[in-house]
Chains A and B, each alone.
Chain A
Amino acid sequence: MALLGTVLNTVGALFLTHAIYSTHEHTTAFSTSPLPTDITLELLLSIVLLSTGIVTSSQPLRPIQAATWAGQIAREGQKPEGTYTREGEAVLSEGDPYAFLGLDGGFGEKGGKGEGRRGFWDVKGKRREYEEWVRGRGKE
C-alpha cells in the first residue's frame, strides 16, 4: 500500500510539473488564446493521481469503538505507528490502555511474570473442557 501511494505521488507530481511548465510556456507564447485541452486534461489527471496518492499513503485510521479497537489489537497485536528514534525506541506510540490488566502476564502456558489477571476468559474453551470432563465421567 505504501508503494502504491509512492508510485501515485511520483507519477502525479511528474504530470503536474509537466502540465504547469506547459501552461507557463503556452501563456508566454500565446497569451490570448485559451489553454489547449491536453494540458488541462493532464493537469486534472495529475490532481486526481496526487490526491489518490495522498489519501493512500496517509496513516491508517483507527476504529473509535473501544470494543472494535481492542479486538483489533488483540487480533493483530500492537501495531506501533509512532515515530522512532534511530535506535528503534518509540518516541510516541499509542499503547493498549488496558495493558495494566496484565493480559500478557500471569500464570498461563507462556509463564508471564505479571499479576496474571485475565481480562479475557475463554468461556467457550472452558465450556468445552467441562463438557469433555462430563462425558469422560459418563463413560467410567
Chain B
Amino acid sequence: MAASTLDEERELTIHPLVATSMQHNNQVISNIRNLTASLFGVAAGTLGLESYPGFIFYLAGTLLVSILLFVLKTETTPGKYFYRPLGDMWLGEVFGGLSGFVLTWTLFYGLVRA
C-alpha cells in the first residue's frame, strides 16, 4: 500500500495535473447527470413505473449516459480527462441525480398516470 502511494506521488510529480481542469470536468459531468436524471424521472413517471423497476430504469439510463459520455465527450480515452475514470466518469454523480429523478418521477406519475 505504501509503495503504491509513493508510486502515485512520484507519477503525479512527473506528470502534474491541472486542478482547474479537473474541477471543470466534474462540473460538466454533474450538470449532465442532473439534467438527464430529471429527464429519466419524466420518462419513468409517464411509463407508470413503480418501486424497483423505476430505480432499475434510472440505473439503465445512467448507464446509457455514461456510454454517451465515454463515446462523445472523452473520445473513448477517459483517462485523459479524469484522474479516476471509473469513479469520476462512469459512476460520477450517479447518486447526486437520484433526488432530481425521484422528484420528477413522482410529479409526472401524479400528473399523467394517477
Contact = CB atoms under 8 A, between A and B. Distances in A.
Interface of A: 16, 19-20, 23-24, 27, 35, 40, 43-44, 46-48, 50-52, 54-56, 58-69, 94
Interface string B7-34: 0000000011110111011001001100
Contacts of A35: 47-48
A47 B64 CA distance: 10
24 contacts: A16-B42, A20-B46, A23-B46, A27-B112, A46-B43, A47-B39, A50-B39, A51-B39, A54-B36, A54-B39, A55-B65, A58-B28, A59-B24, A59-B28, A61-B24, A61-B74, A63-B80, A64-B22, A64-B25, A64-B80, A65-B15, A65-B17, A66-B17, A68-B80
Interface string B51-93: 0000000000100110011001110000011110000000000
Interface residues of B, number: 37
A20 B21 contact: no
For the residues of A in contact with B, the DSSP-based class is helix
B81 A55 contact: no
Contacts of B36: 50-51, 54-55
B103 interface: no
